[in-house]
A and B are shown apart, each in its own frame.
Chain A
Amino acid sequence: MNSTNAALQFELDQQSFWKGLSAFDWVWAVIVLLGTGYAYTTYASLMDDYEKGILVSTGAGLIALGWHWKEIRGLSLAIFLLSIFGISRYVNGLEDAEVDFFLRFLVSSQSAIMWMSALYVLATVTYFISFFSRSEFAGKVASAMTWSATTMGFVGLMVRWRESYLIGLDVGHIPVSNLYEVFILFSIITALLYLFYERRYQTRMLGGFVLLVISAAVAFLLWYAFDRDAADIQLLVPALKSYWMKIHVPANFVGYGAFALAAMVATAYLIRAKAEQRNSTGVAMTLPPLDILDDLMYKSIALGFAFFTLATILGALWAAEAWGGYWSWDPKETWALIVWLNYAAWLHMRLTKGWRGNPMAIWAIVGLFVTLFAFLGVNMFLSGLHSYGEL
């Protein structure tokens, strides 16, 4: 009896969340608190209540995120240090990007984004090498590359944010306002979502598939930057000057990223299903088991759906302010609705009809094409009120 009680007490003490935190967890919390506190005391006089609220909740969110997902700490610190470094190299103005060594080759937004692009492509190749050679080590290298690419992508955006203010105080804006910027956002969000699941489910063999979408995005990004000169920081048209943009766009891209992830997991699913059918023992069988893939597919679609819902609603609220109506059946809005309905149908089929397997995987891949059309096709082929990013 006593031993049971002691064991119970031990168990209750052991596993309590707060007690489970390590010294590193607390160091992390202190660092973030200090940073947030510093930012608050320095800039509070320039901020309105919303902005203060956002700053404080960002700090709190970052602490919690770092506790639940340890790698985020390294990522955040790296982004922070590199971004601060990059920003501090700008002394005389934007022209420094041409003369300063570090800016030119590492941390100006252009260079950082080139690094990001190169690293993502390399990571894709390395993931596939690891897949085909069944090399654990290559897989680890590929993961490290993906982490680095993501870091550089974030640094690119951060420094770009600052650069926009160097052009002019009235020009400065968060870099989520045109197609070039959101492609970067798409790449890093998709990569982060994948990295999260990679650690959770030990699914490194999936990496190549997911990174394939990111590489495609990078290819588009580079084409867009070089062929269309899209990399320049653009001035915001009046309709884009809104608080809603800052949350609507990132929420949307969590959605797009998750849908892309789901589609690539679905691809892996189909490959593995085929291999199982043939009783193959080839590399396809090193992919995670079907039920894990199925679960992963569901989870990313659920995540995507939740954020896409949020984003669409934020978009409607924004439209209500900018265009005078929360819903105008503008092609972009309408396609967002189509994407949303499509995934709603997918979720229902799975949950209430119990559909599983190949049809759902194929549907998830089709879903990506529908999403892609909503994201790019609408801007290319249909005219409407959404003005950002014409091709």
Chain B
Amino acid sequence: MNNQSSSIERTPLKTSALLLKFLGSMNLAITLLVALSVSSIIGTVLQQNQPYTDYIIKFGPFWFEVFKQIGLYDVYSSSWFLFILFFLVLSTSTCIYRNAPNMLREMREYRQTIQLKTLENYSNSHTWELSQSTTDAKHVAESLFKHNGFSSRLKEGDSNTLVAGMKGGGSRLGYLLTHLAIVFICIGGLIDGNAILKAREMLGQIVPETRNIPASEVPKISHLGLNNLSFRGSVSVPEGSRTDVLFINYKDGYLVQGLPFSVEVKDFRIEHYDSGQPKSFESDLLIHDDRLEKPLEQTISVNYPLIYDGYSIYQASFSDGGSELEFLTWPLKGVNEESKKIKIRVGDDLPMTLFNESWILEMSNFRLFNINPSDDPSKKFKNDGPSVQFKMRNKTGEAKEFVNYMVPVERDGAYYYLSGVRSSPAEEFRYLYIPMDDAGSINRFMKYLHALNDKEVLQKIAAKQNFSGSSLPSNDAAKLNEAMIRLAGLFAENGMEGVIKQVEESVPQDKREEVTELYVRVLQQMLGAVYVEVLMDEGVDVSLGVDEGKAAFFDAASAAIGAIGRYGSPVYFQLSSFVHKQASGLQIAKAPGKNLVYPGCAMLILGVFLMFYAPQQRLWVWLEPTDDGVKFVLAGHAIRNKMDFEQQYEKIQAQFDRVLTS
């Protein structure tokens, strides 16, 4: 019975000691360091916090779900990652707890209880038999210790005197500072990370919003109040507007964070280098707060945030703030040459009916400058001027995305209206090059296009042409005309592809090449004739043929028309004027953890340098009177940088030798 009770008493003691030993063990520490490294690598190899749809495409639905459960899309705030960090803090704290008392003692203690035997056994040790008096020897020891930067303590024993010297106690302090710093930084980091948000989400207190709706319509459950300790979110504020909320990206949605004040963006500016690249982004802010007598005015820019009331407000990005745009819409089908004016704001959608089909125009962005690499070797960059980006969504919901440049862009000496198109954001834009006419407008191209679509015009022109001399399969002129008109129509609708398809469908294989060649020749002639007609209509004198520029225009225009079949929008939107309005992308953060992290950083730097560069070294002189003088034992010891110490010790020993044996 007695036995049992004592063992019961001892067991908890033993487990706690074991636990302490385990937590403070180097093996655990190294394991944690390695585990932390490996998990960090995962987070860098797999791009974090992307839209969930990207991951589904990448991994398929099964693995997507598995990886989502493990938390691979946000490794650094997954529970297992936090768990590792937590253990690192625990392990380091335990380590400090176990070592600190020792270290602190080591720092101050002069090891005056050391035995002669120990000293003589040190590899750095030397003994002299001297005739001097103990007092003199003591004086020498103390002077030379001090001279070499060692502070010393004297201990008079019964039959001996010990001078114990020490230098570089800072390295012990360095250990404490370094390891305490790790604890500080980790805890601070945990406070500023989103562990708390995660916990609240798990408790069901918050649910991220995934729909794209205004902040005012977001339900309460996705709102975070002023009591939220730490966060980092962003918000886009158009010039002249203000906000008192911001958005925190969370999982596949976002949360709305309230602010105790509101931020107004008065003006946003981009300054440019001479070459046109951006030099600085800055916003003039006004902070409206009831606690202030008048709004606080401050300009922020990249690298120069505003710190207000514990909140830091950063210039993070910029975007369009609802620029007002005016377009001329040019039909790309039919014979209607009239362009129509429309007005739209960036960010708005405009339903429209085109050729009896309904479409939605979604205006997504406007850019005032397009700085692109220059072909001109003397300049690195050129400015291609304003552009708009938008989507055209058809009635089935499919959309193509377009980017149209406002001013013609130069390519190989000629100018073009550029319009890029793609079917998904993952693709590069493919560009349609619409040539600019001599008057600097798009009119001639459109006239040419519409003439090709106009059966009447084609018929007239076909009739004017005389193909009877050519070697067409049939000599029937009427049939021929019809074939030509159909060919031109095919081309206008689907480009060269349409023509080739027609050949493939209607001509036997062995004749295809011949026929295709023929068709191309005829088509070329037809297009040329239509083009000349358009020129004459314009009042150009073509009696002596067309000049090089106009010939080049013909080639470019024909190529562009050949590509229109694949273009994907029934109209061409020509940006005619705009009122630019920008929005400043602000990032607002509250990070109280940095009050731990920053001091931690300072401690870490100080600690590391102390640990490496103020290694603790000890010297002793043991004096024992002999019959005719004194036995003088010098010894030195260091636990770190032993080789350096050995050299130093040798120098010191030589000094002693010179003085003592002089």
Contacts and interface: CB of A to CB of B under 8 A. Distances in A.
Interface in B585-600: 587-589, 591, 594, 597
A353 B281 CA distance: 52
Contacts of A91: none
Interface string B297-326: 000011111000000101010000000000
B273 interface: yes
Nearest to A245: B303
Contact of B604 (A12, A313, A323, A342): A313
A98 interface: no
A324 B140 contact: no
Interface string B255-291: 0000000000000000001110111110000000000
A184 B275 CA distance: 26
Interface in A316-356: 316-317, 320-327, 329, 331, 334-335, 337-338, 341-342, 344-345, 348-349, 351-353
B37 A238 contact: no
Interface stretch (A40-48, A76-84, A190-198, A302-310): A302-310
B414 to A, nearest CB: 27
Interface stretch (B44-52, B206-214, B346-354): B44-52
Nearest to B601: A313
Contacts of B655: 11, 15
A288 to B, nearest CB: 12
B189 interface: yes
B302 A4 contact: no
B68 interface: no
B301 A325 contact: no
A382 B45 contact: yes
B340 interface: no
Contact of B44 (A11, A309, A320, A382): A382
B658 A7 contact: yes
B658 A324 contact: no
Interface in A226-249: 232, 235-239, 241-242
Contact of B605 (A235, A236, A313): A313
A322 B232 contact: no
A324 B316 contact: yes
Contact of A310 (B34, B44, B316, B605): B605
A65 to B, nearest CB: 15
Contact of A292 (B34, B45, B643): B643
A277 B390 CA distance: 72
Contact of B305 (A302, A305, A317, A324): A324
Contacts of A324: 232, 305, 312, 314, 316, 587-589
A349 B30 contact: yes
A325 B589 contact: yes
Contact of B147 (A12, A292, A317, A335): A12
B44 A335 contact: yes
B59 interface: no
B199 interface: no
Max chain B C-beta neighbours (<10 A), residue from A292, A320, A324, A342? A324
B56 to A, nearest CB: 20
A22 interface: no
B303 A238 contact: yes
A3 interface: yes
Interface string A20-51: 00000000000000000000000000000000
Given A4-B132, A324-B589, A378-B44, A242 B303 contact: yes
B643 A295 contact: yes
B351 to A, nearest CB: 37
A380 interface: no
B43 A239 contact: no
B662 interface: yes
B305 A168 contact: no
Contacts of B147: 11-12, 15-16
B29 interface: yes
Contact of B275 (A6, A235, A309, A317): A235
Interface in B535-579: none
A235 B277 contact: yes
Contact of A303 (B47, B612, B640): B612
A237 B277 CA distance: 8
A75 to B, nearest CB: 23
Interface string B636-662: 000011011000000000010011101
B560 to A, nearest CB: 33
A295 B643 CA distance: 7
A351 B640 contact: yes
Nearest to A383: B47
A378 B47 CA distance: 12
Contacts of A238: 278-281, 301-303
B44 A241 contact: no
Contact of B658 (A11, A232, A305, A335): A11
Contacts of A344: 33
A382 B46 CA distance: 9
Contacts of A241: 280, 302-303
A317 B96 CA distance: 27
Contacts of B48: 329
A319 to B, nearest CB: 10
B344 interface: no
A235 B380 CA distance: 11
A316 B601 contact: yes
B144 interface: yes
B252 interface: no
Given A11-B659, A15-B147, A326-B591, A170 B45 contact: no
Given A322-B303, A329-B48, A383-B47, A235 B660 contact: no
Given A238-B301, A352-B26, A382-B45, A4 B601 contact: no
A8 B47 contact: no
B40 interface: yes
A340 to B, nearest CB: 9
Contacts of A353: 26
Given A15-B655, A239-B302, A383-B47, A325 B30 contact: no
A344 B26 CA distance: 12
Interface string B191-228: 01000000000000000000000000000000000000
A317 B605 CA distance: 13
B360 interface: no
Contact of A309 (B29, B273, B608): B608
A313 B144 CA distance: 40
B33 A341 contact: yes
B338 interface: no
A1 interface: yes
B143 interface: yes
B44 A6 contact: no
A136 interface: no
Contacts of B274: 168
B18 interface: no
A291 interface: yes
B106 interface: no
A322 B304 CA distance: 7
Give the most central of B75, B147, B608: most A CB within 10 Å: B608
B349 to A, nearest CB: 31
B609 interface: yes
B37 A12 contact: no
Given A235-B277, A325-B591, A342-B37, A334 B604 contact: no
B136 interface: yes
Interface string A289-307: 0011001000000110110
B432 interface: no
Q: Which 4 A-B pairs have the closest CB atoms?
A: A7-B662, A324-B314, A324-B587, A238-B302
Given A306-B609, A337-B37, 18 more contacts: A4-B132, A6-B662, A8-B139, A235-B273, A236-B279, A238-B278, A239-B303, A305-B608, A306-B612, A313-B604, A321-B303, A324-B232, A325-B589, A326-B594, A327-B189, A329-B43, A341-B37, A348-B29
11 contacts: A12-B147, A237-B277, A241-B302, A309-B604, A321-B304, A322-B302, A323-B587, A324-B314, A325-B232, A326-B594, A353-B26
